[in-house]
Amino acid sequence: MKRSSGARLCATVAVGALSLALVTGCSSDDSKKDKGTKGSGSGAGSSSSSAPAAAALTTAELEKLLLAQGEVEGYKVASGDDILPKSKAGVKTDKAACDPLAWATAGLAPGDTNANASNSVSEDKASTATAQPEDIADAFNIAMTFVGLSSYEGDGAEKAMKAVSDGVTACSGGYGLSAEGENSKVTKVVAEKGTGGGDEAVAFAEDVDMDGEGTATFHTEVIRKGNTIATFYTVNFAALASGEATKIPAAVVQAQVAKLK
């Protein structure tokens, strides 16, 4: 397996492309080293009768609702500006119905809105970095969750959730994905049970072709509370390299949903 050029590149590939480059690029001991205004307990969509608010929050208001440092014990928060794709224009699929899935995974708004904010929440492990290879490898053994918030006018949030739920069904056989200049192939999409919360939730898993060297499974969760939608996607580079499963941490989901209005 190839070695990588660094954590920032690895994270960009992980969120944007979900390709072989993620594995071959992220199990690395090389040391070389993109967010703009972006926006589950159930499987393919559980909903309540709660009506969404009429007016969307602004991007600035969403930024204030993102998790902040110290709000989730055992985790540290970063802006994600240098990791997440900058806009939907940089994330494309070969099936329009699959766009909301790709956007949600990339921390972008899954629906039609310009009110979007995002950040990253990572396990806060004490640094033990030395020149030893095992310590360098351990630096990648951290679960990083990319969180996106988006807000919508009228029933826009409910429409966005339906688009995600419909996408899980329409894209069950997979789709092609191009993001940040990297191409990859999602071979399967299935609904699954997530942490849940809010008024409506959709959770799904995607199997991604690792350039003929098997597949890797990635998990995404989308939760609506009123007219605000939160998306969650977690990656652990060391786990990917070893084939271990990486779940979205419930503590992060619950803390973020609790902050939504």
pLDDT at 156 over 80: yes
Residue 132's pLDDT is what?
Answer: 53
How big is the CA angle at 246 (ends 244 and 252), to the nearest 5 degrees? Answer: 160
Residue 86's pLDDT is what?
Answer: 80
Q: Could you tell me the pLDDT band of residue 139, with boundaries at 50, 70 and 90? A: low
How is the chain split into domains, by residue range?
7-259
Q: What is the mean pLDDT of the chain?
A: 79
pLDDT at 15 over 70: no
Residue 134's pLDDT is what?
Answer: 53
Share of the chain above pLDDT 90, in %: 55
Tell me what the mean pLDDT of segment 8-25 comes to.
39
Could you give the CA distance from residue 103 to residue 259 in angstroms, rounded to a whole number? 22
Which of 223 and 92 is assigned the larger pLDDT?
Answer: 223
Residue 140's pLDDT is what?
Answer: 65
Tell me what the mean pLDDT of segment 208-231 comes to.
91
Nearest to 204 by CA among 225, 187, 189, 214: 189
Could you give the CA distance from residue 247 to residue 236 in angstroms, rounded to a whole number? 9
Residue 212's pLDDT is what?
Answer: 75
Residue 181's pLDDT is what?
Answer: 77
Tell me what the mean pLDDT of segment 142-168 comes to.
96
Could you give the CA distance from residue 215 to residue 72 in angstroms, rounded to a whole number? 32
Q: Could you tell me the pLDDT band of residue 152, with boundaries at 50, 70 and 90? A: very high
Residue 259's pLDDT is what?
Answer: 96
Query: 248, 223 in Cβ contact below 8 A?
Result: no
Residue 36's pLDDT is what?
Answer: 38
- Return the exposure string of 7-35: e unless at least 16 CB atoms fall within 10 Å of the residue's CB, then b: bebbbbbbbbbbbbbbbbbbbbeeeeebb
Share of the chain above pLDDT 70, in %: 72
Question: Which tens digit of pLDDT belongs to each residue from 67-124?
Answer: 999 999 999 999 866 677 888 988 999 999 999 999 999 999 999 999 999 999 999 8
Which of 256 and 25 is assigned the larger pLDDT?
Answer: 256
pLDDT at 31 over 70: no
pLDDT at 256 over 90: yes
Backbone angles phi, psi at 11, to 5 degrees: -65, -40
Q: Candidates 2.160.10.10, 3.40.50.12780, 3.40.50.720, 3.40.1000.70; correct CATH number of 7-259?
A: 3.40.1000.70
Could you give the CA distance from residue 143 to residue 18 in angstroms, rounded to a whole number? 16
